[in-house]
Amino acid sequence: MLPFLRINRHFFVRSLSSLSFSPSEVRPFSKFLIHRLMPRSGTMAARLSTAAGSPKLLFRQLFEKESSTYTYLLADVGHPEKPALIVDPVDRTVDRDLSLVKELGLKVIYAMNTHVHADHITGTGLIKSRVSGVKSVISTASNAKADILVEHGDKIYFGNLFLEVRATPGHTLGCLTYVTGDEPDQPHPRMAFTGDALLIRGCGRTDFQGGSSHKLYESVHSQIFTLPKDTLLYPAHDYNGFTVSTIEEEMLYNPRLSKDEDTFKTIMENLSLPYPKMIDAAVPANLVCGMQDLPAN
Ligand SMILES: N[C@@H](CCC(=O)N[C@@H](CSS)C(=O)NCC(=O)O)C(=O)O
Ligand SMILES: [Fe+2]
């Protein structure tokens, strides 16, 4: 029963993405479910490639300087519709991001968050209000509102490419890492969008939003450091001018997570960071994807 539910869930997430099905259109395409039962789900990607171009990744890393946040734009430009997704957009830079999307001729289908941010307001709600058909995405565990709530193991398709969802709690309860697919026809090396779970030579703090140093250590070691060593690591923030790292580099040189768990916990307990300046406004807004449609008090 459980494997069937899991496959069904993958199918549902896929069905809302690359082919722009409406939920009512899911049933006629249930034949794809059969391909999910095959040992390698690459069968499905290969099958669709024939129908809708060969997968070709377009990737852009964008920066918001006040919160030192990275936003990522990914699209399958080998697909005729150039379906795209945007990870961790910031409200202040939505205009810039959407201009780029327009210039590149992309069709944004998902505006996604790695977690409920505490230091800035997400742009996912604004993007939804500006571009029709965009669905907001966040984890079920975040307890936030969004059009699509995803869980560990889900695959989010854009065209013939996808991001795999990995639960990496510890900075917050609902933190996710999104990883590019490992299908034979996917681009290599893989890319991991780690949010605040793993930063370059650092990691997310664990002193609020359900944070736990124990959980973060487990998440990074079981879900991120197990990726191929050449996987490119793209965090949600950088405060030191870095743009990208690799799993291998972080396993060797991350001053926190390359240590044993007890040392890691001691480091995290002694960070003494001030709370983010915007936390009181950002968390409630981000629990509704930045739409700020909270009922009046
Ligand atoms: N000074 C900034 C907030 C800086 C901060 O706390 N960053 C977070 C990620 S955003 S929730 C963090 O986890 N930092 C870890 C670290 O080691 O710096 C502000 O006021 O907004
Ligand atoms: Fe955060």
Q: What is the pLDDT of residues 164-177, one digit of tens each?
A: 999 999 999 999 99
Residues with CB under 6 A from ligand 1: 67, 118-119, 196, 202, 204-205, 237, 239, 271, 273, 276-278
CB neighbour list of residue 61: distance below 8 Å, 6 or more residues apart: 70, 71, 72, 234, 243, 244
Q: What percent of the chain has pLDDT over 70?
A: 79
Is residue 130 over pLDDT 50? yes
Q: Give the pLDDT score at 182.
A: 78
Q: Ligand 1 pocket check: which of 113, 239, 283 to mutate, most ligand atoms within 8 Å of Cβ?
A: 239
How far is ligand 1, taken at its centre, from the CA of residue 284, in Å?
17
| Residue nearest ligand 1's atom 13 by CA | 204
CB environment 184-200: b (16+ within 10 A), e (fewer): eebeeebbbbbbbbbbb
In this predicted structure, what is the pLDDT of residue 270? 98
Least confident span in 1-15, 57-71, 146-160 = 1-15
pLDDT of 32: 23
Measured between alpha carbons, how far is 293 from 128 in angstroms, rounded to an integer? 14
Mean pLDDT estimate for the chain? 85
Alpha-carbon span 235 to 198, nearest angstrom: 7
Number of H helices and number of E strands within the chain?
A: 9, 14
User: Is pLDDT above 70 for 100?
Assistant: yes
> Which domains, from first to last, does the chain contain?
2-42+52-286 (3.60.15.10)
pLDDT of 232 strictly over 90: yes
What average pLDDT does this structure show over 49-53?
58
Is residue 188 scored above 80 in pLDDT? no
Query: How confident is residue 5, by pLDDT bands cut at 50, 70 and 90?
Result: very low
Which value, in Å, is the radius of gyration of the alpha carbons in the chain?
19
Give the residue ranges of DSSP H helices in 153-221.
213-219
| Cβ neighbours for 220, distance < 8 A, ≥ 6 positions apart | 168, 170, 197, 198, 203, 257
More confident residue, 9 or 106: 106
Confidence (pTM): 0.85
For position 187, what pLDDT does the model report? 56
ipTM for the whole complex? 0.99
- Predicted local distance difference test score (pLDDT) of residue 184: 67
* Model confidence pLDDT, tens digit, residues 241-291: 999 999 999 999 999 999 999 999 999 999 999 999 999 999 999 999 998
